Amino acid sequence: MDQIARTAKQLGAAIRRRRRSLGLSQAALGERTHLRQATISALENGEPGTQLRTMIDVMAALGLEVVVRERTKSGADIEDIF
Amino acid sequence: MDQIARTAKQLGAAIRRRRRSLGLSQAALGERTHLRQATISALENGEPGTQLRTMIDVMAALGLEVVVRERTKSGADIEDIF
DNA sequence: TCACATTATACGCCGTGGCGTATATTTTAA
DNA sequence: TTAAAATATACGCCACGGCGTATAATGTGA
């Protein structure tokens, strides 16, 4: 399920969802990415000072990627309705 | 044109494209976002230490949003082929 | 070509992220 | 309910981002 993210919090939430769907703990993800469990926690909680490096590394480890696109006028589009 | 980004460099490139398509200079974008022209430059050049806050603020000013999704196996999917 | 606009880079400063380490706090199973 | 697992938070430290300001390097149009 693709996640739209316009804020750091939404970005963190999407990452947390994915991590959980993979059955990983923050600590386990931390090992794979050489990041501290505390750092993963901060990212998932949407700390806006988090570095892009951290987001990129975590997304790679979770098999995620980002699509940059023009904002849709509303929050919902066709696929959300049907 | 949606841009897939798996690295900070790709993210920066997508942002730069969008800024240019809007006919904005880094300085003009900096004014809108209360960021220095140098900061925009760093973001667009894919400095991995850049903060999420910076990316988020710039994307908002450019009318961009991010979609987080599972990585596609290859770079191309159906829509790129047809 | 050449002046002007744009972008990249530099310096000193301050704030904060991520580090190791450790411990609260909360969540989850048994 | 309670022990164990998972997550949030804390402390001191170092590195570096973003700040103002300024300038160098590039691009661009006339």
**Alpha-carbon distances, residue B30 vs A54, B10, B26 (angstroms):** 24, 20, 6
Q: Is the pLDDT of residue B77 over 50?
A: no
Nearest to A64 among B11, B14, B68 (CB): B68
Structural domains in chain B plus CATH codes: 8-68 (1.10.260.40)
For residue B81, the model assigns a pLDDT of 31
| Mean pLDDT value across residues A23-42 | 97
For residue A40, the model assigns a pLDDT of 98
For residue A1, the model assigns a pLDDT of 76
How many other CB atoms are there within 10 angstroms of residue A16's CB atom? 18
- Segment B19-63, tens digit of pLDDT: 999 999 999 999 999 999 999 999 999 999 999 999 999 999 999
pTM: 0.89
For residue B1, the model assigns a pLDDT of 77
- Minimum distance, in Å, between the CA of residue B36 and any CA atom of chain A: 17
Residue A25 CA to residue B46 CA, distance in Å, equals 29
CB-CB under 8 Å, B69 with A2: yes
Q: Please indicate if any CB of chain B lies within 8 Å of the CB of A66.
A: yes
> What's the Å distance between residue B27 CA and nucleotide C4 C1'?
15
